[in-house]
Structure 1
Amino acid sequence: MDERPLMSSNKDTRIDDEAFSDADVADAAPTAAQSVTVAVRMQPVEHSQQPVFSNFTTVQAGSGVVFIDFGFFEPQTLAYLSRLGQPGVKVPEAIDGTLACRMALSIETVANLANQLNQLLRNAAAAQARTATVPGQSAER
Structure 2
Amino acid sequence: MPIVLTLTEGVLPEDKEAIAIERIVQSFLRHHGLTGNSVMTPNVTSHVNVLPKGKTYAGGTPVEGAWIETRTPSFALAERAVQIAFFGEATEILHELSGGMLPKDRIWSEGLHAVDGTWNLGGTARSNAELGEAAAAG
What TM-score bracket applies, with the shorter chain setting the length?
A: under 0.3
- The structure with the largest strand share of the pair is 2
Decide which structure has greater helix share: 2
Structure with higher Rg: it is 1
Q: Which has the higher contact order (CA 8 A, sep 6+)?
A: 2
Q: Give the structure-2-normalised TM-score.
A: 0.26
Structure 1 length normalisation: TM-score?
0.25
